[in-house]
């Protein structure tokens, strides 16, 4: 067993975010390619509430563990969204891969202001950082482009593992690959996926950014984490 102490980090909504998320990416492409369209962003939004693998986390998707296969399925979701917003099937099929590329464009991604200070302080405390996220296969490229690579030891994204948090295997897979560190915590902004999912397999967890009475530990900002972890060590 490794002597290292490890923090499993959620990514989207915890370390970084894409304003408008999937809906905004699809809508931006629609406006650029069809400026005369009368569709609104609200016409697209309902289609983003279902159809992604993480909407059914109890169901492993081991058939979707390559970028090609994962995006082939997700682009069909985009096609349905564009048709629902008034595009023809042909138009929707042309727009879907563009929305795929737009979502991955690093220009759309932002680090939270407290991310780097927190990672730096926690690294100085001896913590190893690992990302465990329900995300796209290309998450490592996004992480690198945002300048997080010097801090991150490993990245596990559901787009390549086939398991979505809070599925127990999402956590177990990461721990197996990390050689079962002796001390491990989960930090994330989603009470169900990050906190309750981790606790169900025996990993203590801290909810950040979004309060929920079910969380045993909560920090409003990541910069509160070093003091919290220091208290645990005393």
Each residue's pLDDT tens digit in the chain (234 positions)? 447 899 999 999 999 999 999 999 999 999 999 999 999 999 999 999 999 999 999 999 999 999 999 999 999 999 999 999 999 999 999 999 999 999 999 999 999 999 999 999 999 999 999 999 999 999 999 999 999 999 999 999 999 999 999 999 999 999 999 987 889 999 999 999 999 999 999 999 999 999 999 999 999 999 999 999 988 765
110 φψ region: left (φ > 0), alpha (ψ -120 to 50), beta (else): beta
- Of 62, 78, 108, the residue that ends a domain is 108
- Of 108, 136, 157, the residue that ends a domain is 108
137 and 191 both lie in a single domain: yes
Running DSSP on this structure, what letter comes out for residue 147?
T
61, 117, 178, 226 from 120: Cα distances, Å: 35, 5, 21, 10
Which backbone phi and psi does 196 adopt, to 5 degrees? -65, -35
> What are residue 110's DSSP bridge partners?
17
- Of 76, 92, 108, the residue that ends a domain is 108
Structural domain harbouring 213 = 5-17+109-233
């Amino acid at each position: 067993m490794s002597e290292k102490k490890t923090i499993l980090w959620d990514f989207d909504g915890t370390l970084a975010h894409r304003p408008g998320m999937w809906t905004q990416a699809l809508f931006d492409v629609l406006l650029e390619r069809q400026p005369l369209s009368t569709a609104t962003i609200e016409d697209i939004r309902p289609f983003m509430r279902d159809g992604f693998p993480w909407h059914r986390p109890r169901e492993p998707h081991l058939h979707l563990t390559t970028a090609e296969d994962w995006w082939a399925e997700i682009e069909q979701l985009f096609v349905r969204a564009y048709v629902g917003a008034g595009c023809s099937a042909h138009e929707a099929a042309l727009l879907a891969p563009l929305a795929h590329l737009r979502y991955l464009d690093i220009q759309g991604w932002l680090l939270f202001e407290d991310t780097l200070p927190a990672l730096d302080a926690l690294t100085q405390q001896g913590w190893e950082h690992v990302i465990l996220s329900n995300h796209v296969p290309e998450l490592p490229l996004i992480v690198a482009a945002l300048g997080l690579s010097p801090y991150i030891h490993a990245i596990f994204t559901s787009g390549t593992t086939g398991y979505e948090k809070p599925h127990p295997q999402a956590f177990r897979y990461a721990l197996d690959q990390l050689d079962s560190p002796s001390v491990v915590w989960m930090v994330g902004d989603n009470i169900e996926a990050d906190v309750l999912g981790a606790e169900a397999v025996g990993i203590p967890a801290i909810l950040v950014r979004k309060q929920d009475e079910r969380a045993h530990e909560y920090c409003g900002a990541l910069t509160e984490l070093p003091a919290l972890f220091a208290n645990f060590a005393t």
